[in-house]
């Protein structure tokens, strides 16, 4: 006997897989459209966990599409935040907050992005997922670039790279690599090659716990 809920899940996951493939092909408009279709199915069966991830995926595809406006992503992430709060689980709350930080930085709200990251880094530590911690610290580094704290930014990013290397994880997605380079370029351009190497070496020597403490101690020069 057919199971309509399972059929809906299977269709949504197939659309999600197509969306990811479109992402690999850097067809971000199609990727967003497919993620949106999957999201609507998740909505129809009221699957809160997948609705949250669906909302996040749509905003991520939006960020690389043409005519990206961070303001358009905010309502989707606010909806995801409400659902995550309803579920009352860091597993869902943390990825939502990480993407809210991303949108804040995309909007030039670097001080607000840093403050939100500092608020949720202890939550990520308590949840004990190093991937969430690394992601949040990565966005801390981007906020610091925007705040003109170049050395802090590069030190922080190097610490996340060291942790990923320790885990045997490397960011290879060309879209993400290009985005990382673009976000860090302003900080790197302010330092000599020698100073950049020194600062990044200091970051590589940090443990993840030390990097979190370092991030929490930073005070934004802008209010």
8 A C-beta contact, residue 159 and residue 208: yes
Q: Please give the Cα distance from 51 to 38 (Å, whole number).
A: 9
Mean pLDDT over residues 72-89, rounded? 96
Q: What is the pLDDT of residues 166-176, one digit of tens each?
A: 888 888 888 88
The pTM of the full predicted model, rounded to 2 decimals, is 0.92
Q: Average the pLDDT over 112-137 and give the result.
A: 92
Higher pLDDT, 127 or 214: 214
Cβ atoms within 10 Å, residue 95: 18
Contact 80, 52 (CB under 8 A): yes
Helix (H) or strand (E) holding 93: helix 90-106
Residue 2's pLDDT band, with cuts at 50, 70 and 90, is low
Residue 1 pLDDT: 61
State the chain's mean pLDDT as an integer.
93
Burial-class residue 170 by CB neighbours within 10 Å (0-12, 13-18, 19+): exposed
Quick one: average pLDDT of 75-84? Answer: 97
Q: Tell whether the model's pLDDT for residue 126 goes beyond 60.
A: yes
Where exactly are the structural domains of the chain?
1-88, 120-223
């Amino acid at each position: 006997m057919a199971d309509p809920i399972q059929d809906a899940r299977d269709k949504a996951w197939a659309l999600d897989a197509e969306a990811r493939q479109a992402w690999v092909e850097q067809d971000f408009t199609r990727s967003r459209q497919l993620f949106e279709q999957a999201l609507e199915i998740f909505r129809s069966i009221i699957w809160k966990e997948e609705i949250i991830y669906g909302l996040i995926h749509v905003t991520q595809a939006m960020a690389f599409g043409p005519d990206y406006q961070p303001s358009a992503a905010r309502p989707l992430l606010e909806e995801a935040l409400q659902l995550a709060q309803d579920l009352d689980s860091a597993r869902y709350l943390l990825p939502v907050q990480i993407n809210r930080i991303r949108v804040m930085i995309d909007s030039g709200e670097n001080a607000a992005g840093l403050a939100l990251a500092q608020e949720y880094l202890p939550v990520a530590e308590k949840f004990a997922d190093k991937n969430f911690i690394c992601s949040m610290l990565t966005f801390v580094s981007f906020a610091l670039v925007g705040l003109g704290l170049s050395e802090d930014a590069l030190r922080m990013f190097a610490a996340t790279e060291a942790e990923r290397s320790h885990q045997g994880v490397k960011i290879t997605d060309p879209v993400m690599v290009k985005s990382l380079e673009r976000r860090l370029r302003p900080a790197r351009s302010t330092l000599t090659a020698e100073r950049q190497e020194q600062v990044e070496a200091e970051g590589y020597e940090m443990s993840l716990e030390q990097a979190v403490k370092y991030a929490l101690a930073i005070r934004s020069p802008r209010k």
